[in-house]
Structure 1
């Protein structure tokens, strides 16, 4: 079955819009959840600013579990939760739930590792001057780790694009759904190739923009 390029273009525009919607919305929730979780992982270490070893171990185990599960398995396993939260398991909005749950453990570890690179002397100086944990987090840790956090966010966005494509397996919409329904199931190589090209462009654009922001921030410092 052949599809004319005008129809392919219209399908690609709609699917790209759905993919961008999923990625941007999931990115917001990923940062809102992953950033505080990553900070908590860092400060709750046995030798951290606010030692909570048991909570740290439990939280670390949950994060490791989330990172170890294949995303396709997670998509299926989270169908009941998605239906509970959104009311449906189909469409771009529903896909945001498993995408976010699959991505925030990865970003949380990135945050923890980024904070681990901050000069410990700066932290000790703030504490010596009477600063509390809030001062350390917002005046030292996050500002000093910003380049690493931006680089990690770039990697996370690229991963989210991949997750959004896999969400097409359960009817999540976007480019993945287009590739499956109009490309694979209908044996339409034109749609498959066009979808791959758009995904590559999206990934390269995000990576280039993220790298540029990190370099710019590094030069300013």
Structure 2
């Protein structure tokens, strides 16, 4: 394998593991161990590590190696808040179009989520992909793919946080139920309820992890001492009535 191909392979493999939390925030790795794992020389491995550092997923630690960067809770909260504003507009526009083919694609994605949950081959990464696929459909159908790309570009903090929710809490049925309610609101064009349900849904990860964010998972955050103030805001969001039906 050429050095460039080796570097690309190491980069892609480590990036997938960081985003999938096989490598957790703050985890330290020696460059030599990575070379041995991939049976690669130091140069292509170092190139791959530099690329991951450039993306913000890793950072070099002098005389020790590299470390997966910590999450920043204040950034995560702001990204979710931004997403609620963007996605509320997207969903209302989607509902007004009421394209039957687009709605069927959403139902297909939702059915696949249910099938995956019932499968004995369930994998968190596969559920994450189906979750993202459904939301991306809404953005694509109304002609706002750049909005979705901007959300995905926040992988350093937000993507890993979403995966943390999936890996740690295993509350997949709640997520699927909220997807089903959102889709029902879109079909029936109940615009007044969309923002409340979407806000409750997107902040669900914080709500589900409220008891472990500052304790068991506190070491994953660079600003763990500030999580409490954000939790108070999120827990003040009332569960919409249509989610209880």
TM over 0.5: no
- Identify, as 1 or 2, the structure richer in helix: 1
With normalisation by structure 2, the TM-score equals 0.32
With normalisation by structure 1, the TM-score equals 0.35
Higher RCO structure (Cα 8 Å, ≥6 apart): 1
- Identify, as 1 or 2, the structure richer in strand: 2
